[in-house]
Structure 1
Amino acid sequence: MTGIEVTGKTMLVTGGSQGIGGAIADRFAQLGARVVIADVNEAGAEKAAQLNEAGHEAYFIRCDVSSSEDIRALAAEVGEKLGAVSVLVNNAGIFPRADLLQTEEAFWERIMDINLKGTYLMCQAFVPGMIEQGGGSIVNIGSTHARMGSEDAMAYAVSKGGIVTLTRNLAKALGKHGIRVNVVQPGWVASEGETARIIASGVNPDKLFADAGSRLLLGRMQTGQDVADSVLFLASSLSQQVTGQVLTVDGGLSLR
């Protein structure tokens, strides 16, 4: 068995219809994993269909990760169809912008419900199956905002900081069950969502990404594939002694 062997394993990625989550789903499917895409976005059905047409095994189950009812239904369906999940990737998240004075209570709660509470609820739902099968890997998707902060992303940054704390607590609690829990912390990723947002602002995204990437230590912007490869490392036996850690994938941005 090679260090990146995931063939036949069931992995679940939230927010897997596009962007970082879509790249993660692609990477694991290409290596022979059975991929479950859990997303509130119905585009996940098309993503799963594309993977299946390419000869992979993929499933789409609609799920709002802020809803404990949806997550219980998701866990029941996955358990019935595929059994225990070996790799859980908590990627679903939102990134609306607002500074302190613009952040209303409902705005704050929505971000926390999806980004932080959703991660906790997913772990709570799928950890029992991992314990029963003797282990597994949980990879939570964080953000460099957790360390660096931003004037117009306060609530988002706090939610991602909470994910780091949650991860370390779970790693300590679940290690005895053979379950590893880690965080991948991307910088600014050139994803479909960011491209659409930039186009809407009237700016050329290719030029913006090229200019921004040229100022990074490694000379280019991160892509969803870069994040997916890092998730694969943490999910695989190549990192079998790694738990409770934060792997930053930002091209050196946080060193500036």
Structure 2
Amino acid sequence: MREKASFNFAGKTVLVTGAAKGIGAAIAEQFGSYGANVVVADVDEQGEAAAAGWRQLGRSARFIRCDVSRGSEVAKTVAYAEQEFGGLDILVNNAGIFPRARLAETDEAFWDRVMDINLKGAYLMCQAAVPGMISRGGGSIVNIGSLHATSGAPDTLAYAISKGGIVTLTRNLASALARQRVRVNCIHPGWVASDGEMARLAAAGEGGDSLEKAISRMPMGRMQTGDDIASAAVFMTSDFADQITGQQLTVDGGISSR
């Protein structure tokens, strides 16, 4: 009989991309609260302030600037995590952008930027992190997907396709790496009340009463938070989920069940 499973991540090292703020910051913060060594990777220098704040709480956190669309920076980031903490156990591919454009408005540069960050970035991170995980006897990867992955809205064409690719990446690697005990799963967030989303809604004139009415129609009566997604990531990489791989976990308060 195996040892009792737990949410104790002491001695484990977690690399979270796009973790300077938003969902990524919530994921990094929650892993740190469970004792993990956390590496915050982001193009936004605000990541250093986030990591410094967690260190003041007695947690083990480091920041490294990383553009996930550049292979050289990705390799440097993974090497940094391994050197700082002796190895990398968990990778959360959260970095992404969510620009909107319909087919006619999606030029080649727009398409390439979305794919480079949302899909290529996850592939590069997996490619860099997996060899070390295998050498350590296993690991866990969580890719952050989207409810748009199966079809998307008319103005989320490139974004939806990039997230559909994340699903395929997840399932392909889960099958390829199972024998090496590297688990790969995907989390689809619902409508998350991040600072960026709230700013977008306000700019579009969709705040105030109209937003409250939209929220009131949601199955469980509220938008999701970064902490909701973080809790799912912690579970999917914990001992409790050690037989779960190649799966998609939707955290949307029931939106997609209607």
TM-score, length-scaled by structure 1: 0.96
Answer yes or no: is the 8 Å Cα contact 2:15–2:81 preserved in 1.
no
* Mapped pair 1:183 → 2:174: no
RMSD: 1.3
Matched, 1:162 2:165: yes
Partner of 1:245: 247
Contact 1:148–1:254 (CA<8 Å) still a contact in 2? no
Q: Deviations over 1:69-125 (max 9, x none)?
A: 111111222222112211100000000000011000110000000000000000000
Residue number among 74, 82, 107 corresponding to 1:104 in the alignment: 107
Residue 38 of structure 1 aligns to a residue whose secondary structure is strand
Deviation at residue 202 of structure 1 after TM alignment? 4.3
State the one-letter code of the partner of 1:247: L
Which of 80, 83, 88 aligns to 1:85? It is 88
Shift of 1:232: 0.6
Gaps of 5+ in 2: none
Query: Distance between the aligned counterparts of 2:206 and 2:153, measured in 1?
Result: 21
Query: Does 2:69 match 1:69?
Result: no
Is there any run of 5+ residues in structure 1 with no aligned partner, and where?
none
State the SS of the aligned residue for 1:222. coil
How many correspondences in the alignment? 255
Residue 246 of structure 1: how far off its partner (Å): 0.3
More deviation in 95-104 or 79-88? 79-88
In the other structure, the counterpart of 2:143 is 140
Please tell me the residue identity of whatever aligns with 1:253: I
Residue of structure 2 in register with 1:173 after alignment: 176
- Report the AA paired with residue 71 of structure 2: S
Residues in 2 aligned to 1:251 and 1:213: alpha-carbon distance in whole angstroms? 11
Aligned equivalents of 1:33 and 1:215: distance in 2?
38
1:209 and 1:221 in contact (8 A); partners too: no
The percentage of counterpart residues that share the same residue type is 56
Give the secondary-structure state (helix, strand or coil) at the position aligned to 2:103. coil
Opposite residue 239 of structure 1, the aligned amino acid is A
The SS at the match of 2:129 is helix
Distance 1:195 1:15, change over 3 A: same
Q: Which residue of 2 aligns with 1:231?
A: 233
The amino acid of 1:244's aligned partner reads: G
